[in-house]
Copies of this chain bind each other. A is one copy, B any other.
Amino acid sequence: MNHDRLPTFAQILDAAARIAPHAAVTPVLRSAALDALAGAELHFKCENFQRGGAFKFRGACNAVWSLGEDEARAGVVTHSSGNHGSALALAAATRGIPAHVVVPEGAVQAKLALIERAGAVLHRCAPNQAAREAKAAEVQHATGAQLVHPYADDRVMAGQGTIALELLAQVPAMDALITPVGGGGLASGVAIAAHALRPGLSLHAAEPAGADDAARSLAAGTRVESVVPDTVCDGLRALVGTPNLQALRDHAVDVITVDDAQTVAAMRLIWQELRVVVEVSCATVLAAVLKEPGRFTGKRVGLVITGGNVDLDALPWARAANA
């Protein structure tokens, strides 16, 4: 593992072979109504149907199965607002090794339940980056477990990049791809894989306006760490990682910011028209396409739907209606 290095395309191909026995090949869904609304041909890569309900299983699984026999024995540890945590727990279970997951107070209950169900040990901490990292280091020290960072880890990025391999095999003649961006594990892995296969593909990332550090960092030419996340997109509150930001820059990824109201409206559209249960975070991609139609009109666009772990008793449009 390397925190600063980006994965190569060869590592992404290796990851695909490594996770194939464990991960699902997820379907690509379409909706005539959403195509009409966007004026583009939208192909939704539904990672909410991935094992554990999110794309995160790919990166976690690649990391877990990349470990040597000896290092694997002590298990793995991570800090995660939820999906990476449950993904790592599930991945560790496929290899029969322990998983420790540091979770911030206030994390989505449905996600914590998934982590515990997968057999991981939960370690709670304050909801900020420093507290998460300190707690993870503490667990690492106490148990000898290997840290698997949610995004700034070349094994994790390589795993997430397998989505692009799969999607471009399912829909070869794609013009553009868009993923959400939080820490950037997905956006960076997908960018590397997609451009290795299709150098001319236009790459986009959707970011909540209330956690727009990636957009600011690209504009500033340096990593902006001063953003205090304020968004309903609980999966996109992390600051973009250093290698991840480098990948966005290398591959000229166009970051589109969307506000929460646009994202919640897009989430509802996905539920209604595509008929899949998706998290609010992944609706940013449709919100971005609808916000910036000029960049997508008439194109064949791949949208990565990242996860579907939601609290069915706390849907954001219901909250809005009751407020």
Contacts and interface: CB of A to CB of B under 8 A. Distances in A.
Interface string A305-323: 0001100110101100100
Contacts of A277: 271-272, 275-277
Nearest to A305: B275
Interface SS of chain A: helix, strand, loop or mixed? helix
Contact of A312 (B27, B49, B110, B272): B272
Contact of A276 (B33, B276, B312, B318): B276
**Copies of this chain in its oligomeric complex:** 2
Interface in A84-129: 110, 117
A277 to B, nearest CB: 4
A275 B272 contact: no
Contact of A49 (B29, B48, B278): B29
Nearest to A117: B33
Nearest to A54: B275
* Max chain B C-beta neighbours (<10 A), residue from A277, A309, A317: A277
Given A29-B49, A272-B277, 8 more contacts: A48-B275, A49-B275, A53-B275, A275-B276, A275-B308, A313-B317, A313-B321, A318-B318
A268 B312 CA distance: 8
Contacts of A278: 275
A33 B117 CA distance: 10
Contacts of A321: 313
A48 B46 CA distance: 15
26 contacts: A27-B27, A27-B29, A29-B49, A33-B117, A48-B275, A49-B275, A53-B275, A110-B272, A268-B312, A271-B277, A272-B277, A272-B312, A275-B276, A275-B277, A275-B278, A275-B308, A275-B309, A276-B276, A276-B277, A277-B277, A312-B315, A312-B317, A313-B317, A313-B318, A313-B321, A318-B318
